Structure 1
Amino acid sequence: MTASDSAAPAATEVLPVEQYVASLPKKRMAAGVLFRDKAGRVLLLQPSYKPNWEIPGGAVEADESPWETAARELTEELGWERPLGRLLVVDYVRPQDSRPEGVVFVFDGGVLDETELVGMVFPDGEILSAGFHTMAEAREKLKPLLADRLVAALRAAEQGTTALCEQGQRVA
């Protein structure tokens, strides 16, 4: 037996924290707010920059929490400053098109009266119109993934729960 045969195995190399963190997978995040009226219709926004409609919300920016995002987007898109309700949906979204995987949060905005939409002015021109729609109407205006997510959000709001979803479908 030689001296090299009795040597201890090489220790696992430990990366510096910055290098380790840089090697972790990146996920995009977005946050939105579900508003509904007394009839159970959902508030949808017509964006000026794409054909499909949305709920108030958008991408989480660097160093911003999902709830800060939702509040910021309400102000930017609708000029509203109001408290958010509880978390209704956490939805894992697989990579699609050219987008990486992501996590989408939907918060409860509560029940609004149609009069709260009368005379709305959209501050930045990003939104063309807003209105309440049944889920059947919403399915015609939304991407299927968002429509499925809204069904889960409505059910969570009714049941007082938070829905864990994957691709808009409840998993738990």
Structure 2
Amino acid sequence: MSAGSVCVGVSAGAVLTDERGHILLVKPGYKAGWNLPGGHVDEGETPYAACVREVREELGITPDISPEPLVTAWVAPPDGPPRLNFVFDGGQLSGRQREAVRLPADELTDWRFFPPEADDPALIPPRIRALLAAVRTSRHTGRPVYREAVL
């Protein structure tokens, strides 16, 4: 890397909803707040492949995730390096899929559906709130959204 360059992490996650349009978030055991199911893109892996893998690993299910991202966002949090986030649409989970959710005990402690406009900073970190706002915009316009957020 050249002087002044920044190493950016890449992550991918999925928006999964219930019949009310509420969005499934997971509670990591290793940090505060709730998050979209997903995670880091491994070397040599595409963001879409990482999303499918991470959802399967974190929830124990393989929903039909669209390969077209709803949101691409460059986010610079105050407590770490910037991240390039890809958010894909996993659609509405059926009752059977919700019953089949199994969390990895060593990584996640809980999951639940939140209204899309949820913005309680005690529950949902600023980075995730920014992604959820972009998801709302994408769904409202029917077009993918790109955002840059310095938090």
Tell me the SS of whatever aligns to 1:167: strand
Distance 2:111 2:77 in 1: 29
Alignment pair present for 1:144 and 2:110: no
1:163 corresponds to which residue? 145
Tell me the SS of whatever aligns to 1:89: strand
- After superposition, the Cα gap between the structure-2 partners of 1:105 and 1:119, relative to the gap in structure 1 and judged at 3 Å, is closer
**1:45-99 per-position Cα deviation (integer Å, ceiling 9, x unaligned):** 11121221111011112111111111110111011223321310010112632x2
Q: Higher strand share goes to which structure?
A: 2
Q: RCO greater where, 1 or 2, for CA within 8 Å and sep 6 or more?
A: 2
Tell me the SS of whatever aligns to 2:42: coil
For this pair of structures, how many residues does the alignment match? 147
Q: Which of the residues 11, 15, 22 maps onto 1:41?
A: 22
Tell me the SS of whatever aligns to 1:141: coil
Structure 1: where are the runs of 5+ without partners? 1-21
Once superposed, what is the RMSD of the aligned Cα atoms? 2.4
Asked if the contact 2:61–2:100 (Cα under 8 Å) also holds between the matched residues in 1, the reply is no
Max radius of gyration: which structure?
Answer: 1
TM-score normalised by the chain length of structure 1:
0.74
Identical-pair percentage: 30
Tell me the SS of whatever aligns to 1:74: helix
Q: Higher helix share goes to which structure?
A: 1
2:32 corresponds to which residue? 51
**Moved >6 Å (runs of 4+):** none
1:122 is displaced (CA, Å) by 1.7
1:151 is displaced (CA, Å) by 1.9
TM-score normalised by the chain length of structure 2:
0.83
Asked if the contact 1:149–1:168 (Cα under 8 Å) also holds between the matched residues in 2, the reply is no
